[in-house]
Amino acid sequence: MRRNSSSKKRIDTTLGDLIEALSEVAFEQCKDAKEAYTLAGLVLADVLSNCLRSDLTPSPIKDPR
């Protein structure tokens, strides 16, 4: 069964909440603050990059309406 791209799960949140959540998880996994902030920053950059790419890339599935 194929998933339609319009069925992607969307989470509405603020940038501050996203940064807080990423930082919290990073601090749980890393041995020091510098490493945690680096990890959180890299993950944030990846998340935002993926969001921009998906917004700019047209869906290959056409709406039948």
Distance of alpha carbon 23 from alpha carbon 60, whole angstroms: 35
Label residue 62 by pLDDT band (50, 70, 90).
Answer: low
Residue 8 located in a structural domain: no
pLDDT in tens, 12-42: 889 999 999 999 999 999 999 999 999 999 9
Residue 38 belongs to what domain range? 31-57
Instruction: Inform me whether the pLDDT recorded for 59 exceeds 90.
Output: no
pLDDT at 15: 92
State the total domains in the chain.
1
Q: Which contacts qualify for 27-36: CB closer than 8 Å, 24 or more apart?
A: none
pLDDT at 9: 76
Establish if 20 belongs to a structural domain. no
pLDDT at site 11:
79
